[in-house]
């Protein structure tokens, strides 16, 4: 066997034939190892790429891809069921609107009416019911009217029908217009017979402000000259406390025998001849009340529970000319007595004070009202009623000075006196004995006209002013300082410096020592 080297590879000769079998076998084996090695590498690479992909998938996800193309349209579905038949278009004529739909009593306003399928023309008329006058109708179009309405102050408040008539056709807008009061009345507490109540009157018509013109009246008060209140019989204005363009604070007095039920109130604002009316047909409701009996010449305790509360009181006064003293005291509050005298009416008013003195000349009931106006609540007021026998005299024909003073025996009463004018003075003389030194003179005006505005001055025997009133009310009552000297004292009763109010000039007077 011969061996050669060919291209660096050994060749073998076997049986005369040259062969590469060993060489090829070795090559195949070598290639197998190479291939295996490459497969391992590819496997490792795939495993590595797979791990990377898993790691990327675990770390975050990419954004969604875009939507694919719409698929082919499906087959048409079955038709739905037929709907119900419609009702058709209604062409019936009607009133479709009223604007504004509200008016105040006593007002004159323009109202616009709109219609549907109407044929309104110059013959068309409009009605808003009783108490509302239609003074002008203007046809803006066949479906629009502009009307001027004037509302009476006595018209019934509330909703009402509006009727539009053209020829034989009458169209009604049911409950389409509302009437209300130009004022709202808010009462503190109940309007009871024989009571004093505070009320706020709110002006609901901004186009017509209340007239708040005022003049001084007393040291700390004013009188509003251009605002009046008209109330039903049995309800009186006790005082008009304040007025602004938008409201008024008022104190009302309800007589003990005032009719029960709904009561009307009217505010008149402005100077005479130019007053605006603000009516309210249903301003308040008066409720029944029975007076509490007082024991004569003794004390009766009255419990007051609420602010502004009042109690209607009555006492039996025996026959004869009497000076009647009433007093209300409390250790924790400041109650007032409104003395009414022999009738439960404000027009017999004799005074307002914790201590009230009046004159009685016959057996009768003596009425009064205990009133708590200062916010005091939950207290007891002790009310006493005492009578003093007195001698009555008339004013006299001429008693306008010291030299013509009419003698008044004490305890004494002057009946039926009157001030002729703002300059008139009525003079009376009283005699004080030595045994009266140290006492006080009780003197005052009462009865007559409730708003007689008097002034009282007392002179001592030397003609010096001994004492005088503060002029803080209408009827006055004065308790002087202690008497120092015996002798003749003079009482001068004149008109207040604020002047007399027309129709209020009469008075009674009393004087006694205590």
Mean predicted lDDT score pLDDT of the chain = 86
Q: What is the pLDDT of residues 110-141, one digit of tens each?
A: 999 999 999 999 999 999 999 999 999 999 99
Q: What is the pLDDT of residues 166-197, one digit of tens each?
A: 999 999 999 999 999 999 999 998 999 999 99
Confidence of residue 350 (pLDDT cuts 50, 70, 90): confident
Has residue 47 got a pLDDT over 80? no
Contact at 8 Å (CB) between 160 and 128? yes
- Quick one: pLDDT at residue 319? 95
Share of the chain above pLDDT 70, in %: 85
Confidence of residue 417 (pLDDT cuts 50, 70, 90): very high
Q: What is the pLDDT of residues 13-28, one digit of tens each?
A: 334 333 334 433 344 4
The overall pTM is greater than 0.75: no
Q: Which helix (H) or strand (E) holds 21?
A: helix 21-59
Shortest CA distance to 384 belongs to which of 471, 313, 436? 313
Give the angle subtended at the CA of 297 by the CAs of 291 and 302, to the nearest 5°: 40
Q: What average pLDDT does this structure show over 26-40?
A: 44
Q: What is the pLDDT of residues 283-300, one digit of tens each?
A: 999 999 999 999 999 999
How far is C-alpha 45 from the chain's CA centre? 94
Share of the chain above pLDDT 90, in %: 71
Rounded-to-integer distance, Cα 14 and Cα 16, Å? 5
Helix (H, G, I), strand (E, B) or coil at 423: coil
Rounded-to-integer distance, Cα 134 and Cα 212, Å? 33
Rounded-to-integer distance, Cα 279 and Cα 276, Å? 10
- Quick one: pLDDT at residue 75? 78
Has residue 11 got a pLDDT over 60? no
- Quick one: pLDDT at residue 221? 81
> What tokens were used for 512?
């006694």
- Quick one: pLDDT at residue 8? 37
Query: Which residues touch 456 (CB under 8 Å, ≥6 apart)?
Result: 443, 444, 445, 468, 469, 476, 478, 491, 492, 493
- DSSP characters over 47-111: HHHHHHHHHHHHH--PPPPPPPPP-------PPPPPPPPP-------EEEEEES-EEETT-EEEE
Q: What is the pLDDT of residues 230-261, one digit of tens each?
A: 999 999 999 999 999 999 999 999 999 999 99
Query: Which residues touch 165 (CB under 8 Å, ≥6 apart)?
Result: 124, 125, 126, 127, 171
- Quick one: pLDDT at residue 9? 38
Name residue 310's beta-bridge partners. Answer: 371
Following CA atoms 65, 66, 70, 71 in sequence, which dihedral angle do they give, to the nearest 10 degrees? -20
Has residue 65 got a pLDDT over 80? no
Has residue 222 got a pLDDT over 70? yes
- Quick one: pLDDT at residue 253? 96
Query: Which residues touch 272 (CB under 8 Å, ≥6 apart)?
Result: none
- Quick one: pLDDT at residue 471? 86
- Quick one: pLDDT at residue 41? 47
Confidence of residue 349 (pLDDT cuts 50, 70, 90): confident
> What tokens were used for 2?
């011969």
Q: Which helix (H) or strand (E) holds 28?
A: helix 21-59
Rounded-to-integer distance, Cα 189 and Cα 182, Å? 22
Has residue 90 got a pLDDT over 90? no
- Quick one: pLDDT at residue 63? 62
Rounded-to-integer distance, Cα 494 and Cα 468, Å? 12
Confidence of residue 219 (pLDDT cuts 50, 70, 90): low
- Quick one: pLDDT at residue 83? 65
Q: SS3 letters for 234-282?
A: CEEEEEEEEEECCEEEEEEEECCCCCCEEEEEEEEECCCCCCEEEEEEE
């Amino acid at each position: 066997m011969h061996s050669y080297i060919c291209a660096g590879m050994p060749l073998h000769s076997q049986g005369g034939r040259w062969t590469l079998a060993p060489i090829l076998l070795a090559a195949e084996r070598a290639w197998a190892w190479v291939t295996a090695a490459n497969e391992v590498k590819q496997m490792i690479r795939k495993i590595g790429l797979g791990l990377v992909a898993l790691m990327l998938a675990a770390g975050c996800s990419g954004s969604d891809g875009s939507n694919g193309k719409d698929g082919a349209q499906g087959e048409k579905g079955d038709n739905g069921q037929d709907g119900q038949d419609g009702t058709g278009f209604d062409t019936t004529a009607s009133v479709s609107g009223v604007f504004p739909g509200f008016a105040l009593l006593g007002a004159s306003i323009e109202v616009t009416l709109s219609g549907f399928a109407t044929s309104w023309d110059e013959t068309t008329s409009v009605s808003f019911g009783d108490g509302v006058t239609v003074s002008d109708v203007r046809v803006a179009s066949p479906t629009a009217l502009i009307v001027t309405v004037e509302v009476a102050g006595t018209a019934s408040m509330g909703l009402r029908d509006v009727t539009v008539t053209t020829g034989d056709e009458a169209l009604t807008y049911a409950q389409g217009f509302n009437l209300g009061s130009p004022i709202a009345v808010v009462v503190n507490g109940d309007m009871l017979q024989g009571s004093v109540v505070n009320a706020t009157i709110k002006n609901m018509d901004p186009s017509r402000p209340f007239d708040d013109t005022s003049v001084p009246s007393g040291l700390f008060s004013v009188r509003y000259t251009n605002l009046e209140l008209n109330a039903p019989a049995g309800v009186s204005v006790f005082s008009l406390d304040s007025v602004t363009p938008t409201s008024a604070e008022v104190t009302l007095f309800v007589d003990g025998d005032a009719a029960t039920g709904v009561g009307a109130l009217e505010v008149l604002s402005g100077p005479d001849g130019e007053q605006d009316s603000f009516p309210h047909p249903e301003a308040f409701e008066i409720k029944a009340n029975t007076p509490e009996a007082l024991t004569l010449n003794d004390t009766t305790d009255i419990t007051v529970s609420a602010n502004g509360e009042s109690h209607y009181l009555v006492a039996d006064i025996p026959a004869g000319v009497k000076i009647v003293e009433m007093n209300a005291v409390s250790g924790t509050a400041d109650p007032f007595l409104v003395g009414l005298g022999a009738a439960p009416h404000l027009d017999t008013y004799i005074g307002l004070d914790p201590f009230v003195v009046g004159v009685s000349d016959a057996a009768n009931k003596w009425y009064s009202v205990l009133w708590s106006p200062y916010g005091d609540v939950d207290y007891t007021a002790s009310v006493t009623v005492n009578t003093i026998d007195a001698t009555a005299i008339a004013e006299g024909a001429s008693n306008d000075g010291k030299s013509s003073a009419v003698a008044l025996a004490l305890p004494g009463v002057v009946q039926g006196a009157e001030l002729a004018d703002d300059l008139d003075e009525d003079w009376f003389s009283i005699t004080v004995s030595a045994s009266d030194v140290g006492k006080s003179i009780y003197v005052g005006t009462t009865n007559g006209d409730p708003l007689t505005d008097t002034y009282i001055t007392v002179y001592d025997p030397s003609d010096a002013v001994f004492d005088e009133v503060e002029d803080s009310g209408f009827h006055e009552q004065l308790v002087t300082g202690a008497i120092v000297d015996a002798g003749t004292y003079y009482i001068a009763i004149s008109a207040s410096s604020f002047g007399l109010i027309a129709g209020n000039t009469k008075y009674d007077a009393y004087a006694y020592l205590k």
